[in-house]
């Protein structure tokens, strides 16, 4: 069967460097760091005392207090980012068939803070099991797409994807395929995460995954730098409206880009570490190119997973050369995690938005905080260090990899009739 074309007709972002898409893009292109000391809890006894928190975010600016209290922060972030995208797309104004609009949303963990607080509350009591009646719905990752559909009346496919840090990229790929195959006209897709919490920081510290550069948090996320010492935890949400092209054309929708392919793979190697030769990363990029039906020479830029971990950055850099060969040296590579931190399950969507905006604006955001060259990483690669670079972009790829060896890659193309 002939697959339908899928375009992007709306964007929404809630990030540590901007609470809207325009603010996020301004933060990216100016090289703004979202890292600072943690304000949510006392970090006195923690190895890491900083993160990329949202700034000036109040859920009651978007929903009433009663509803906000029924949701974990990750779901609040999903509501806010998705509603910016829905408004941007004019779906509601254009009175689309809501039976044909679905929501596919990613979250790597879901309501971690809710579970943490309920257990702490029980442990500090007298043993009587008094739990919030909304504890379970606040925790489950699929509550975010559920509430998005309830608020908007969308009755199409509705579920959550969970694949650690690849979750929202998986959601985009599922959305792409549901529309391609004719199961929906529109999918509200993306992801959200709220891991900056006692258990989030404590758990990642126990894995030795986080940077401990407490004296200088703004430069702590430094992908591909010799002195990188772990990732910086971030939070927020990103939403994309994926739409069948003829459906979008008929209603005169604004089209940002075309989503032309998605790749998936597994490392099959280790619970938390990447394969040292990047085997899963190689496969996922090759699978994405094959799915999109384009040659590797057409790719202009890749937003790498690039978390700022000692092992991950080297493995992904090796994978890039094995896939792209010498064409790699004519591309712009970057890692926006250097600015936003690592948004875990929301990373794929938030970084896909950056790729789309690079296509629309002809600008590659920088990989900030590069101070010292790493001899184990190919110096001929243009990592767009420290400053944005202007470039005409027709094809933009975005990588996301997750604990458990889950890999997802999406490819966007400049829209043409």
Told to judge if 305 belongs to the known catalytic residues of this protein, a careful annotator would answer yes
Strands 101-106 and 186-194: parallel
The bridge status of strand 363-364 relative to strand 301-303 is unpaired
Find, among 292, 189, 304, 295, the residue nearest to 242 by Cα.
Answer: 189
Cα–Cα distance for residue pair 381/333, rounded to 1 Å: 7
The residues near 133 (Cβ < 8 Å, ≥ 6 apart) are none
What span, in angstroms and rounded, lies between the C-alpha atoms of 360 and 355?
Answer: 9
Active site residue 52: no
| Inter-CA distances, 179 with 3, 117, 257, 278, Å | 9, 39, 15, 31
User: How many other C-beta atoms lie within 10 A of the C-beta of residue 230?
Assistant: 24
Distance, CA of 269 to chain centre: 23
Q: How far apart are CA 140 and CA 109, in angstroms?
A: 8
Phi, psi of 50 (to 5 degrees): -140, 165
d(CA 187, CA 6): 10
Say whether 165 is catalytic.
yes
Active-site residue, from 275, 342, 370, 406: 342
From the CB of residue 60, how many other CB atoms can be counted at a distance below 10 Å?
12
285 contacts: CB under 8 Å, gap ≥ 6: 263, 319, 320, 323, 397, 399, 409
Catalytic-labelled residue, pool 165, 275, 370, 406: 165
Which of 6, 9, 5 minimizes the C-alpha distance to 254?
A: 9
The order of strands in the sheet holding 406-413 is 158-161, 101-106, 186-194, 235-244, 6-14, 257-266, 406-413, 395-402, 301-303, 332-334
Inter-helix orientation angle 112-123/198-206, to 10° = 100
Q: Which of 275, 305, 370, 406 is catalytic?
A: 305
The span from the CA of 365 to the CA of 354, in Å, is 8
Active-site annotation, residues: 165, 305, 342
């Amino acid at each position: 069967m002939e697959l339908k074309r899928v375009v992007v007709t709306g964007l929404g972002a809630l990030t540590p460097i901007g609470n809207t898409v325009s603010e996020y893009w301004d933060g990216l292109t100016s090289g703004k760091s979202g890292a600072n000391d943690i304000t949510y809890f006392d970090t006195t006894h923690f190895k890491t005392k900083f993160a990329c928190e949202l700034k000036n975010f109040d859920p009651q600016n978007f929903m009433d207090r009663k509803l906000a209290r029924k949701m974990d922060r990750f779901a609040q972030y999903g509501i806010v980012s998705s509603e910016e995208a829905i408004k941007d797309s004019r779906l509601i104004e254009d009175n689309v068939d809501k039976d044909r609009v679905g929501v596919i949303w990613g979250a790597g963990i879901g309501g971690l803070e809710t579970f943490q607080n309920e257990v702490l509350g029980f442990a500090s009591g007298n043993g009587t099991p008094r739990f919030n009646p909304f504890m379970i719905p606040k925790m489950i990752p699929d509550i975010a797409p559920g509430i998005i559909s309830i608020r908007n009346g969308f009755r199409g496919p509705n579920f959550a994807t969970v694949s650690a840090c690849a979750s929202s990229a998986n959601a985009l790929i599922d959305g792409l395929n549901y529309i391609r195959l004719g199961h929906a006209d529109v999918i509200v897709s993306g992801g959200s995460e709220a891991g900056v919490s006692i258990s989030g920081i404590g758990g990642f510290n126990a894995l030795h995954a986080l940077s401990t550069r407490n004296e200088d948090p703004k430069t702590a996320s430094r992908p591909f730098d010799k002195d990188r010492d772990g990732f910086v935890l971030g939070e927020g949400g990103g939403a994309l409206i994926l739409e069948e092209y003829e459906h979008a054309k008929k209603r005169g929708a604004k089209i940002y880009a075309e989503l032309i392919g998605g790749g998936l793979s597994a490392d099959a190697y280790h619970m938390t570490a990447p394969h040292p030769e990047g085997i899963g990363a190689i496969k996922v990029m090759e699978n994405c190119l094959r799915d999109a039906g384009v040659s590797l020479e057409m790719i202009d830029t890749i937003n790498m997973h690039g978390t700022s971990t000692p092992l991950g950055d080297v493995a992904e850099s090796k994978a890039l050369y094995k896939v792209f060969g010498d064409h790699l040296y004519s591309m712009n590579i970057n890692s926006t995690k250097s600015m936003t931190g690592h948004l875990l399950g929301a990373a794929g969507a938030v970084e896909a938005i950056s790729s789309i905006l690079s296509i629309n604006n002809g600008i590659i955001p920088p990989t900030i905080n590069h101070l010292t060259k790493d001899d184990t990483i190919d110096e001929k690669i243009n990592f767009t260090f420290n400053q944005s670079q202007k470039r005409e972009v027709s094809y933009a790829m975005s990588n996301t990899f997750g604990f458990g060896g889950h890999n997802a890659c999406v490819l966007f193309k400049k829209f043409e009739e």
